[in-house]
């Protein structure tokens, strides 16, 4: 399996969503939150860098640059950038990353330390195991449900 940034994000926000997504179960509904996020990212479309199965928003002074609308899932954002750094490292490029939060222009530095790399590898292994399960985890109401395209599927 070749995880994408979306797999990493769903691992930290909702494991049921990760399973549904990894089994190609799609819902038509797209929340306003997702639409706004896409509009913000359009600014960076020309700068996107694609390597293997990742798409980096841009490079700034040689650093990975990731734009986020809000700081709603900090661990997901951090591990998304750590994953980019890991893929780049495997291609012979050691660098660091910056997450910019559009809501307040806050910048967060991200570095792939030895310890975080170990944690990332554990996350990647867990993603693979979870996606291989026959059934998704049970639906539980969490803070991310209200903007989730799977809401009807989970709770109707």
Q: Which positions lie near ligand SF4, rule CB under 6 A? A: 14, 16-17, 139-140, 142, 144-145, 148, 150-151, 154
Phi–psi pair at 128, nearest 5 degrees: -60, -45
Min dist. Cβ of residue 52 to ligand SF4 (A): 26
Question: What is the nearest approach in angstroms of ligand SF4 to the Cβ of residue 104?
Answer: 25
Closer to ligand SF4 at the Cβ: 10 or 65? 10
Name the one residue in this structure whose structure tokens are 């940034």: 5
Structure tokens at 5: 């940034």
Q: How far is the CB of 65 from ligand SF4 (least distance, A)?
A: 27
Compute the distance between CA of residue 48 and CA of residue 3 in angstroms, rounded to an integer: 18
Strand ranges across the sheet with 63-68: 58-60, 63-68, 97-101, 106-110
Give whichever of 8 and 14 is closer to ligand SF4, judged by the CB atom: 14
């Amino acid at each position: 399996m070749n995880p994408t940034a979306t797999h990493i994000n769903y691992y930290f926000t909702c494991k049921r969503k990760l399973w549904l997504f990894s089994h190609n179960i799609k819902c038509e509904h797209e929340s306003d939150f997702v639409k706004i996020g896409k509009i913000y990212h359009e600014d960076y479309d020309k700068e996107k860098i694609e390597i293997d199965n990742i798409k980096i928003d841009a490079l700034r002074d040689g650093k990975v640059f990731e734009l986020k609308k809000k700081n709603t899932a900090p661990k997901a954002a951090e591990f998304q950038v750590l994953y980019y750094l890991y893929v780049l490292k495997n291609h012979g490029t050691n660098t660091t990353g910056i997450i910019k939060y559009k809501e307040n222009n806050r910048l967060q530095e991200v570095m792939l330390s030895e310890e975080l790399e170990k944690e990332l590898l554990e996350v990647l292994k867990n993603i693979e195991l979870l996606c291989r399960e026959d059934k998704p985890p049970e639906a539980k109401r969490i803070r991310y449900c209200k903007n989730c395209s799977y809401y009807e599927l989970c709770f109707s």
